[in-house]
Amino acid sequence: MTAGPDAGELALADWRRRVGELYAEVRRLALTDPPAAHAAWREARLALYRSHPQSPVPAAERPTFRAHHFPYDPALRFELALARAREGTPRPARPPVALPNSGGEELRFRPLGRLVLPLPSGPRSLTLYWMEGYAGGLFLPFRDATNGRQTYGAGRYVLDGAKGADLGATAGGDRLIVDLNFAYQPSCAFDPRWACPLAPPENRLDVPIRAGERLA
């Protein structure tokens, strides 16, 4: 997401710092108790939504803002390897692409490969991206069948390294933690003054993901 028109650089830096610290605590707690990590994440994000100057929630609504979430579902936490081209069948890296955006700014992302999610309804895959420019970092947006009803119509994020939203990797670093219970609404879901990159067609799931943040 890009900064709103009244945002200051120091406030944005503080937002990133606090979110980074929150996710460091999430990764620590999740080693032994993912539901406890999720509860800590919900509580800390609510405090940021209500009080931080970089909150995406309009200022007049912050004091009474309430966040809504699906119940934690352990079946939606995965350790996933990134699927690239098979060994012996090299192919050129995909060039950076401009993802759909809720505003006029164009942000480009480099596709890294596919993550196959072993969902209860059957495997589905999402493309993992690396943000070019800005602050860099991994980026995993998605859409699903809850959009427009229970969640924001243009989708949600699971990972956004530019903002410190990183759930970590396995001890060897070869598998990413993708926990859909930590899916959250982009800033533009709360206020159209924010410009947010959105999930492309290849990251649209045909099943409902009843996990993470919801609108009501």
Provide the whole-model pTM: 0.91
Dihedral sign, Cα of residue 32, residue 34, residue 40, residue 44: positive
Predicted pLDDT of residue 77: 98
Which value, in Å, is the radius of gyration of the alpha carbons in the chain? 17
> From first to last of its 216 residues, what are the pLDDT tens digits of the chain?
554 444 588 998 999 999 999 999 999 999 999 999 999 999 999 999 999 999 999 999 999 999 999 999 999 999 999 997 544 445 566 889 999 998 877 789 999 999 999 999 999 999 999 999 767 899 999 999 999 999 999 999 999 998 899 999 998 889 999 999 999 999 999 999 999 999 999 999 999 999 999 998
C-alpha 95/C-alpha 75 separation (Å) is: 34
List the chain domain ranges.
Answer: 70-214
